[in-house]
Amino acid sequence: MTTGCLPHIARLGLIKDRTACRNRLQAARNKVVLAQLRARLRQVERQIEQIDAELARLVAELLAHRFVILMSIPGIGPVAAIAMLVEMPELGSMDGKEAASLAGLAPITRESGRWKGQSRIGGGRRGLRRALYMPALVATRHNRQLGQTYQALCSAGKPAKVAITAVMRKLLILANALIRDDRKWAETAP
């Protein structure tokens, strides 16, 4: 979906513009400046709506089936699904470890001889990692299996961000497997 990439990138830029406008609005005191900033904020929000409509059209035209599969996963909404499809078009054509590595969600352990450092994530596709953060938070509450994973890691003493990163990785692997197997998400019985 090479044509779908440009609207997605434009949307990311507009989101940054909207945040900047909101920040400027909080700091502004002059009535003229406030009026201009409010007008600019309305303009940016209209542009985001237009880009969202264009992205929805492109997805419906080119990737509707994959989009429906991603939307079936608790925690993944339309923005995250589109971001996943745009940032990682090869989703479904590789195994889980490759998908996690390509996204930069595979843990990299630093060690040499007897010395062992902390494991970190890095490299990969930053945009995809950013797109998976909020869905991972939502999934810990609405997806029983991912919620249990999160709780188990936190109970084991892991920091919350490490646990969320693990949930992001599992969410990506799940999305990859569902697209590969051409099926929607279904919660297994307890």
Mean pLDDT in residue range 159-186: 93
Beta strands in 22-129 (DSSP E): 108-112, 115-120
C-alpha to C-alpha distance for 177 and 92, rounded to whole angstroms: 6
pLDDT in tens, 32-59: 999 999 999 999 999 999 998 888 888 7
pLDDT, mean over the chain: 88
Q: b/e per residue, 66-95, with b = 16+ CB within 10 A?
A: bbebbeebbbbeebbbbbbbbbbeebbeee
pLDDT in tens, 103-156: 888 877 777 778 777 777 778 888 888 999 999 999 999 989 999 999 999 999
E strand or H helix at 91: none
Tell me if 164 sits within 8 A of 136, measured CB to CB.
yes
pLDDT at position 188: 67
pLDDT at position 152: 96
pLDDT at position 39: 95
- What the block records as the tokens of 159 is 């920091």
